[in-house]
Amino acid sequence: MAVQLTILGSGSSGNCAYLETPESRILIDAGFSLRQIRQRLATIGRAPEGLSGILITHEHTDHINGLTALCSKLKIPIYCNRPTKDGIEWQLKSQFDCRIFATGGSFEVGDVVVDTFSIPHDASDPVGFLLHTPGGNIGFLTDLGHATKLALERVRAANILVLEANHDLKLLQDSSRPWSLKQRIAGRHGHLSNTDAADAAQEIMSAELRHLYLGHLSRECNRPELARDVVVERMAKIGATHVTVELTSQAVPCPTLHLEHQPRYHQKTLL
């Protein structure tokens, strides 16, 4: 059975991805309502009742909006670090079944080994993920103000990478948003611009990276064609013609990516 990855939606109003392997069915973030998550999963013939767990990058609403309904009704475990757990429970005024990991450590969900690492964002203890699956390595690097050496090093082994391309700097500067919000977004703990995303992709480029998803695009301060053009142009400039650049959408799921089982795959030994 192939590994399947579907970005159910990504943007300022909600983020959620679905990963399926022979042994696990996982959500990465749950920023939509249960109704929306159910509808989006239904487009690929799946339902939230079959989920093994939910991985949470940080406690902002666009990443946790569906947790109360998902977890109270369906008893799905949440994987997060302690500060994120505290932030989730304070915001949602509820207790959850959280499997706590230490940032920088690794854990397993079925046949998926999850590496975690710190990222710079204005949340309690935000993290990125590198998921080791039987079909390859999948990185999630979104919601960060700048791409640190640590974060880039941790996703360097990715075959598929979901990378933030939040805004075009000129569109952000010309937008009607308050100056304080513009400063936050463009700051060291805000969000990556299209050019920042291109810089990060160039830095971690390898022969093993095959699919690059551009995520968390701002509806007001970006345009899909702008984000794609900036990154595609950079990939062409460095000769990375083997990489397929995909845009994610807030409104609809991306086409499912099927990854064939890799016979040389070995699970990473946990420390």
pTM for the whole thing? 0.95
Check residue 266 and give its pLDDT. Answer: 41
Check residue 262 and give its pLDDT. Answer: 62
- Kindly tell me the burial class for residue 40, based on how many C-beta atoms sit within 10 Å of its own C-beta (0-12, 13-18, 19 or more): buried
User: Where do the domains of the chain lie, and which CATH numbers do they carry?
Assistant: 3-255 (3.60.15.10)
Check residue 49 and give its pLDDT. Answer: 96
Taking the chain (271 residues) in runs of 10, the rounded mean pLDDT of each run is 94 97 98 98 97 98 97 94 98 96 98 98 98 98 97 98 98 97 97 98 98 97 98 98 97 95 46 31
